[in-house]
A and B are shown apart, each in its own frame.
Chain A
Amino acid sequence: AQSVTQPDIHITVSEGASLELRCNYSYGATPYLFWYVQSPGQGLQLLLKYFSGDTLVQGIKGFEAEFKRSQSSFNLRKPSVHWSDAAEYFCAVGFQKLVFGTGTRLLVSP
Protein backbone atom coordinates (compact mmCIF):
# COMPACT_ATOMS: atom_id res chain seq x y z
CA ALA A 1 0.00 0.00 0.00
CA GLN A 2 1.14 3.52 -0.69
CA SER A 3 1.99 5.53 2.42
CA VAL A 4 3.93 8.52 3.60
CA THR A 5 5.44 8.85 7.04
CA GLN A 6 6.38 12.12 8.65
CA PRO A 7 7.68 10.97 12.02
CA ASP A 8 7.82 14.38 13.66
CA ILE A 9 4.45 15.87 14.59
CA HIS A 10 5.98 19.07 15.94
CA ILE A 11 9.41 20.60 15.60
CA THR A 12 10.65 23.77 17.29
CA VAL A 13 13.63 25.56 15.79
CA SER A 14 15.30 28.79 16.81
CA GLU A 15 15.23 31.56 14.28
CA GLY A 16 18.39 31.44 12.21
CA ALA A 17 19.02 27.78 12.94
CA SER A 18 18.97 25.06 10.32
CA LEU A 19 15.97 22.84 9.71
CA GLU A 20 15.41 19.30 8.50
CA LEU A 21 11.96 17.72 8.19
CA ARG A 22 11.84 14.01 7.59
CA CYS A 23 9.74 12.12 5.10
CA ASN A 24 9.73 8.42 4.28
CA TYR A 25 7.47 6.76 1.76
CA SER A 26 6.30 3.38 0.67
CA TYR A 27 5.40 3.04 -3.00
CA GLY A 28 5.59 0.45 -5.76
CA ALA A 29 8.07 2.45 -7.80
CA THR A 30 9.82 5.77 -7.42
CA PRO A 31 6.94 8.21 -7.47
CA TYR A 32 6.85 11.92 -7.92
CA LEU A 33 7.72 13.54 -4.58
CA PHE A 34 6.49 16.85 -3.24
CA TRP A 35 6.69 19.14 -0.27
CA TYR A 36 3.83 21.52 0.45
CA VAL A 37 3.47 24.20 3.12
CA GLN A 38 0.20 25.26 4.73
CA SER A 39 -0.14 28.39 6.82
CA PRO A 40 -3.11 28.66 9.21
CA GLY A 41 -6.35 29.13 7.32
CA GLN A 42 -4.64 28.80 3.98
CA GLY A 43 -4.45 26.22 1.25
CA LEU A 44 -1.40 24.22 0.27
CA GLN A 45 1.51 25.91 -1.44
CA LEU A 46 4.03 23.85 -3.38
CA LEU A 47 7.58 24.27 -2.09
CA LEU A 48 9.37 21.87 -4.40
CA LYS A 49 9.01 18.63 -6.34
CA TYR A 50 11.16 15.77 -7.58
CA PHE A 51 10.47 13.76 -10.69
CA SER A 52 13.85 12.46 -11.81
CA GLY A 53 17.47 13.48 -12.32
CA ASP A 54 19.46 15.40 -9.74
CA THR A 55 18.46 14.09 -6.33
CA LEU A 56 18.93 17.48 -4.66
CA VAL A 57 16.12 19.81 -5.65
CA GLN A 58 15.78 23.48 -4.92
CA GLY A 59 12.48 25.09 -4.10
CA ILE A 60 10.99 28.40 -3.18
CA LYS A 61 11.70 30.35 0.01
CA GLY A 62 15.21 28.88 0.30
CA PHE A 63 14.07 25.29 0.83
CA GLU A 64 15.73 22.23 -0.67
CA ALA A 65 15.10 18.51 -0.46
CA GLU A 66 17.17 15.45 -1.13
CA PHE A 67 15.81 12.22 -2.57
CA LYS A 68 17.51 9.08 -1.29
CA ARG A 69 16.26 6.00 -3.10
CA SER A 70 18.01 3.54 -0.79
CA GLN A 71 16.25 5.03 2.22
CA SER A 72 12.93 5.84 0.49
CA SER A 73 13.30 9.31 1.93
CA PHE A 74 12.75 12.84 0.76
CA ASN A 75 13.82 15.14 3.58
CA LEU A 76 13.26 18.87 3.47
CA ARG A 77 15.98 21.26 4.59
CA LYS A 78 16.60 24.94 5.07
CA PRO A 79 19.92 26.37 6.26
CA SER A 80 18.48 29.31 8.19
CA VAL A 81 14.89 29.45 9.39
CA HIS A 82 12.89 32.68 9.50
CA TRP A 83 9.95 33.34 11.82
CA SER A 84 7.68 33.44 8.76
CA ASP A 85 8.48 29.78 8.07
CA ALA A 86 6.28 28.72 10.98
CA ALA A 87 3.57 26.59 9.36
CA GLU A 88 2.54 23.00 8.68
CA TYR A 89 4.62 21.06 6.18
CA PHE A 90 3.32 18.13 4.20
CA CYS A 91 5.24 15.57 2.23
CA ALA A 92 3.31 13.95 -0.62
CA VAL A 93 3.99 11.23 -3.15
CA GLY A 94 2.24 9.87 -6.18
CA PHE A 95 1.55 10.31 -9.84
CA GLN A 96 -1.94 11.35 -10.86
CA LYS A 97 -3.19 11.44 -7.29
CA LEU A 98 -1.18 12.40 -4.25
CA VAL A 99 -0.85 10.57 -0.95
CA PHE A 100 0.00 12.92 1.87
CA GLY A 101 1.76 12.45 5.15
CA THR A 102 0.18 13.64 8.38
CA GLY A 103 2.28 16.78 8.43
CA THR A 104 4.90 18.36 10.65
CA ARG A 105 4.11 21.59 12.46
CA LEU A 106 7.11 23.90 12.57
CA LEU A 107 7.37 26.35 15.42
CA VAL A 108 10.05 29.05 15.30
CA SER A 109 11.34 30.47 18.56
CA PRO A 110 12.97 33.92 18.81
Chain B
Amino acid sequence: EAGVAQSPRYKIIEKRQSVAFWCNPISGHATLYWYQQILGQGPKLLIQFQNNGVVDDSQLPKDRFSAERLKGVDSTLKIQPAKLEDSAVYLCASSPDNSGNTIYFGEGSWLTVV
Protein backbone atom coordinates (compact mmCIF):
# COMPACT_ATOMS: atom_id res chain seq x y z
CA GLU B 1 0.00 0.00 0.00
CA ALA B 2 1.42 3.36 -1.01
CA GLY B 3 1.90 5.83 1.79
CA VAL B 4 1.19 9.54 2.02
CA ALA B 5 3.13 11.31 -0.73
CA GLN B 6 4.43 14.85 -0.38
CA SER B 7 6.34 17.19 -2.67
CA PRO B 8 8.63 18.94 -2.85
CA ARG B 9 10.69 17.38 -0.10
CA TYR B 10 12.91 20.42 0.30
CA LYS B 11 12.44 24.07 -0.52
CA ILE B 12 14.48 27.18 0.18
CA ILE B 13 12.89 30.56 -0.50
CA GLU B 14 13.47 34.16 0.44
CA LYS B 15 11.15 35.92 2.83
CA ARG B 16 8.10 37.47 1.19
CA GLN B 17 8.17 34.87 -1.58
CA SER B 18 5.46 32.26 -1.96
CA VAL B 19 5.61 28.48 -1.81
CA ALA B 20 3.20 25.62 -2.32
CA PHE B 21 3.29 22.08 -1.01
CA TRP B 22 1.38 19.16 -2.42
CA CYS B 23 0.05 16.08 -0.66
CA ASN B 24 -1.52 12.90 -1.98
CA PRO B 25 -3.06 10.87 0.86
CA ILE B 26 -3.42 7.13 1.04
CA SER B 27 -6.06 5.98 -1.41
CA GLY B 28 -9.54 6.05 0.06
CA HIS B 29 -8.64 8.10 3.10
CA ALA B 30 -11.35 10.64 3.78
CA THR B 31 -9.49 12.76 6.31
CA LEU B 32 -6.40 14.80 5.50
CA TYR B 33 -4.30 16.85 7.87
CA TRP B 34 -1.53 19.43 7.50
CA TYR B 35 0.82 19.80 10.47
CA GLN B 36 3.65 22.28 10.98
CA GLN B 37 6.72 21.06 12.86
CA ILE B 38 9.20 23.74 13.86
CA LEU B 39 12.68 22.53 14.76
CA GLY B 40 12.77 21.31 18.35
CA GLN B 41 8.99 21.19 18.71
CA GLY B 42 6.26 18.67 18.19
CA PRO B 43 3.95 18.88 15.19
CA LYS B 44 1.09 21.37 15.40
CA LEU B 45 -2.13 20.93 13.46
CA LEU B 46 -2.73 23.63 10.85
CA ILE B 47 -5.82 22.30 9.11
CA GLN B 48 -7.98 19.19 8.91
CA PHE B 49 -10.13 18.22 5.93
CA GLN B 50 -12.94 15.68 5.83
CA ASN B 51 -13.30 14.85 2.13
CA ASN B 52 -13.22 18.33 0.56
CA GLY B 53 -14.59 20.22 3.56
CA VAL B 54 -12.62 21.95 6.30
CA VAL B 55 -13.17 20.47 9.77
CA ASP B 56 -10.68 22.55 11.74
CA ASP B 57 -8.48 25.42 10.64
CA SER B 58 -8.35 27.26 13.95
CA GLN B 59 -4.54 27.29 14.04
CA LEU B 60 -3.97 28.21 10.41
CA PRO B 61 -2.53 31.74 10.02
CA LYS B 62 -5.07 32.73 7.43
CA ASP B 63 -3.40 36.01 6.56
CA ARG B 64 -0.62 34.11 4.81
CA PHE B 65 -1.50 30.40 4.75
CA SER B 66 -4.14 28.76 2.62
CA ALA B 67 -5.02 25.16 1.89
CA GLU B 68 -7.44 23.40 -0.37
CA ARG B 69 -8.63 19.92 -1.16
CA LEU B 70 -10.91 20.57 -4.08
CA LYS B 71 -11.78 17.06 -5.17
CA GLY B 72 -11.48 15.43 -1.77
CA VAL B 73 -8.27 13.64 -2.69
CA ASP B 74 -4.98 15.51 -2.92
CA SER B 75 -4.33 18.81 -1.23
CA THR B 76 -2.11 21.86 -1.52
CA LEU B 77 -0.84 24.13 1.23
CA LYS B 78 0.30 27.60 0.20
CA ILE B 79 2.25 30.23 2.07
CA GLN B 80 2.24 33.79 0.72
CA PRO B 81 4.18 35.83 1.69
CA ALA B 82 6.58 33.66 3.66
CA LYS B 83 8.21 34.84 6.86
CA LEU B 84 11.40 33.63 8.50
CA GLU B 85 9.38 31.96 11.26
CA ASP B 86 7.63 29.76 8.69
CA SER B 87 10.81 27.69 8.40
CA ALA B 88 9.60 24.26 9.41
CA VAL B 89 8.68 20.82 8.22
CA TYR B 90 5.17 20.61 6.82
CA LEU B 91 3.72 17.18 7.43
CA CYS B 92 0.73 15.85 5.61
CA ALA B 93 -1.22 13.00 7.16
CA SER B 94 -4.31 11.02 6.32
CA SER B 95 -6.79 8.79 8.05
CA PRO B 96 -9.49 6.46 6.72
CA ASP B 97 -12.17 8.27 8.71
CA ASN B 98 -12.53 11.07 11.20
CA SER B 99 -12.27 8.92 14.30
CA GLY B 100 -8.61 9.83 14.59
CA ASN B 101 -7.61 6.37 15.69
CA THR B 102 -5.09 5.71 12.92
CA ILE B 103 -3.28 8.59 11.27
CA TYR B 104 -0.54 8.00 8.73
CA PHE B 105 2.11 10.66 8.11
CA GLY B 106 4.09 11.52 5.02
CA GLU B 107 7.81 12.22 5.12
CA GLY B 108 7.28 15.95 5.18
CA SER B 109 8.24 18.99 3.14
CA TRP B 110 11.16 20.90 4.62
CA LEU B 111 10.92 24.66 4.18
CA THR B 112 13.74 27.10 4.85
CA VAL B 113 12.96 30.80 4.58
CA VAL B 114 16.03 33.03 4.30
Contacts and interface: CB of A to CB of B under 8 A. Distances in A.
Contacts of A101: 42
A4 interface: yes
A10 to B, nearest CB: 11
Contacts, number: 57
A17 interface: no
A102 interface: yes
A44 B100 contact: no
Contacts of B91: 43-44
A101 B44 CA distance: 10
A97 B101 contact: no
A98 B45 contact: yes
Nearest to B91: A43
Interface residues of A, number: 23
A94 B98 CA distance: 12
Main SS of chain B's interface residues? loop
Contacts of B108: 42-43
Interface in A1-28: 4
Contacts of A49: 101-102
State the 10 A-B residue pairs at the shortest beta-carbon distance, nearest first. A100-B42, A44-B105, A43-B107, A96-B100, A43-B105, A95-B100, A97-B45, A100-B43, A102-B42, A43-B106
Interface of B: 4, 31, 33, 40-45, 48, 55-56, 91, 93, 98-108
Given A96-B48, A101-B42, 9 more contacts: A4-B42, A42-B108, A43-B106, A43-B107, A43-B108, A46-B104, A90-B42, A96-B99, A97-B45
20 contacts: A32-B100, A43-B106, A43-B108, A44-B43, A44-B91, A44-B93, A45-B105, A46-B104, A49-B101, A49-B102, A90-B42, A90-B43, A96-B98, A96-B99, A96-B100, A97-B45, A97-B48, A98-B100, A100-B43, A102-B41
